[in-house]
Structure 1
Amino acid sequence: MIKVLLVDDEEWIRLGLREQMEWESLGLEIVGEAPNGAIALEMVDKYQPEIVVSDIRMPGMDGIQLMEAIHTRFPNIIIIVISGYSDFEYAKKAITFRVFDYILKPIEEEKLEETLIRAVQRIIEENNKKEDLLKLNMKLNESGILAKEKFLTHLVQGTDLSLEEIQTGIAKNGLSFAWPRMAAVVIRAENFEAVAVDKYKKDTELAGYVLYNVVHELIQDYDNSIVFRNYSKQGELILLKGFDTEAYSLIVEEIYAKCGHIIDVVTDIVRFKLYVGIGREFMNMREAGRSYTQAVQAVQNAGIVQGSRIIHFDLIDSRNDYYMYPEDKEKTLLYYLENSYKTQAFVLIEDCLNEIHSSPTIHPQSIRNTVLELTMNIKKALKKYNCLLEDLLQEPNIHDKIMKDLFTISELKEWSMEAASKAMEFIADNKKSGSRKTMDEIVEYLNKRYGENINLNSVADTFFVNPAYLSRIFKSETGYNFNEYLNKVRMDAALKLLMQENLKMNDISEMVGYGNVSYFLKKFKEYFGCTPTEYKRK
Structure 2
Amino acid sequence: MYKMIIVDDEDEVREGVKQLTNWERCGFELVGDFSNGRDALEAVERLRPDVVITDINMPYMDGMELAAHLNAMYRELKVVILTGYEDFDYAKQAIKLKVKDYLLKPINLQEFTEFLLKMKRELSEEQARMEDMAVLQQRLNESFPLLRERFLHKLVTIPMTENDIHQKLLDFRQVLDGPDYLAMLMDLEEPDEQSGSSSYGDSELLRFAMHNIAQEVIQEEHGGIVFQAGHDKSVALLGGTAEEIAIQAQKLASHVGEAVRKYLKRDVSIGIGSIYPTRTKLRLSYQEASSALDYRFLLGAGSIISIHDVEFGKRTSTPSYYEFEKKLMAAVKTAKAAQASDILGDWFSELKQSGAAPGSCYSYLHRILAAFINMIAQTGFDDSKVLGDDPFSNIPTLKSIEQMKGWLDETCRGVIAFLSEQRTHVNHTQLEDALLYINDNYSSPELSLQQVCQHVFLSLSYFSSLFKQHTGDTFVEYLTRLRLEKAKQLLVATQLKAYDVAERVGYADPQYFSVIFKRHIGMTPKDYRARMREKVPS
Same fold (TM over 0.5): no
TM-score by length of 1: 0.39
TM-score by length of 2: 0.39
Larger radius of gyration: 1
